Chains A and B, each alone.
Chain A
Amino acid sequence: MPNHVSPLTLLLTADPTLIAIVRLSLVVSSSAVFFAAVIGVPLGALIALTRFSGRQGVIVVLNALMGLPSVAVGLVVFLTLSRSGPLSSLNLLFTPQAMIIAQTVLVAPIVAALTRQTIEDLWIEYRDELTAMNIGPARRVATLIWDARFSLVTALLAGFGRAAAEVGAIITVGGNIEGFTRTMTTAIALETSKGDLPLAIGLGMVLVAIVVVVNALVWTVRRVGERLTG
């Protein structure tokens, strides 16, 4: 990547290094949100619809996990995947897969906690009707998730925002290796410390633009969906 070029030039010329960094960032963050959704949505729905001793404690812990320090998560995943860790045989440390795992751990509690609240609120509204219709537990869960789908998009969006902005966990487990595990946030941190501000600024602009575009898209989908389904 040429030094001392303006951020705008980097963007307009579609600089290959910048494109690779942006692509990897999107792949890692969206993969993490996907896996967090696979884990978090059913888990949140399960907690919303079941009653068990210690449930309130689980909800408190789940809500607290939304604020997990990303560096701490990075450290735990690092220790798990390192040579002396239980999953060392997978050889995932300093790979994009390790970064996806770390971000999934960060995002899943956000998705689960927001899903729990959304599904529980809808269940209060639907409980009598679904019980009167003799709807079984599995269909109950499916119905609530489907009818809350536009609200759940907001939970996924919150997760994407956390993943896209996160730097502590992925720099710990990914190592910020150029051309392999370097993402927008880790590159911004590195280039700023090196004094290469044009690239840092360029990446920052792309990151902000992506977050704005994703939010706008989701907002549009949600508005259209709500208009069509009420």
Chain B
Amino acid sequence: MRAPIADLPIVFDNVSVVADAVIILDRVTLTLSSGTPTVFIGPNGCGKTTLLRTAMGLSAPSAGRITWGGREVVPPIRRAILFQRPAMLRRSVGANIRFALGAAGIPRAQHNSRVRELLGLVGLEHMTDRPARRLSGGEQQRLALARALARDPAVLFLDEATASLDPAATKAMEDLIRAVSHRGIKLVMSTHDLGEARRLAGEIVLLHRGRVIESSEASSFFNTPQTDEAKKFIAGELLI
């Protein structure tokens, strides 16, 4: 049995990320707490992916401080991330899950039952022995979700998880995301699709040019936006 590790709240305190003299995140102060899904929205290049990667611990801040459950150095044991184009290990579907279970320290005796359970959850139980790289884009995304859940995460980051999927695969993925949220896992996701944000978000964070422009409950954000940028973005105008 693994010791529970509280990664929440994730607190950004004046965090900046600079790469090649380009400011990607600009003095972001933000708290991600347990509860409903938080959705980062904003135009391309606004810093959504970098914010997710930094929250995951994959990118280090150039300035400022980030803490997970009050601590600055917390290995990503109870955090997981789903990338827009996840890399499939050159193994079978089942072996991809087993790899993640092994990495998470799950005893080998539990692997088979966990593989069945996770693949059942994402509807891939009939594809256990199929090479993962031969799956369709939507199936690969669902496998990546199952692989992320194999870590039994307290918080799951999703980076434009449906951006490259067709409507049917997007619907299937969104249903799964809702099911995962109902399991009590904190979801933090990025999208540039306002419709998806409306369907899934409990809390919205609008980013523009690396800065947090507005952060509020989803209903407040869409019904009574406070900033000009938010009003423009909701109205479908271009944020430049």
Contact = CB atoms under 8 A, between A and B. Distances in A.
Q: Do A and B bind each other?
A: yes
Interface of A: 125-126, 128-129, 131-135, 139, 143, 147-148, 227-230
Interface stretch (B82-90, B114-122, B200-208, B230-238): B82-90
A222 to B, nearest CB: 12
B90 A229 contact: yes
Contacts of B100: 133
Interface in B68-104: 75-77, 79-81, 83, 86-92, 99-100, 103-104
B91 A229 contact: yes
A125 B131 contact: no
Contacts of B104: 133
Output the residue of B88, B100, B103, B151 with the most chain A CB within 10 A.
B103
B132 interface: yes
Contact of A133 (B91, B131, B133, B151): B151
Output the residue of A126, A129, A139 with the most chain B CB within 10 A.
A129
Contacts of A125: 87
Contacts of A143: 89, 99
Contacts of B132: 230
B83 A230 contact: no
Given A129-B86, A229-B92, A230-B90, A134 B131 contact: no
Contacts of B76: 132-134
Nearest to A150: B90
Contact of B103 (A128, A134, A148): A134
A143 B106 CA distance: 18
B87 A126 contact: yes
B91 A147 contact: yes
Contacts of B79: 132
A129 B151 contact: no
Contacts of A135: 103
Contact of B75 (A126, A128, A134): A134
B88 A230 contact: yes
A146 to B, nearest CB: 8
Given A133-B99, A134-B103, 13 more contacts: A126-B87, A128-B58, A128-B81, A129-B87, A132-B56, A132-B58, A133-B103, A134-B77, A143-B89, A143-B99, A148-B90, A227-B131, A228-B131
Contacts of B91: 147, 229-230
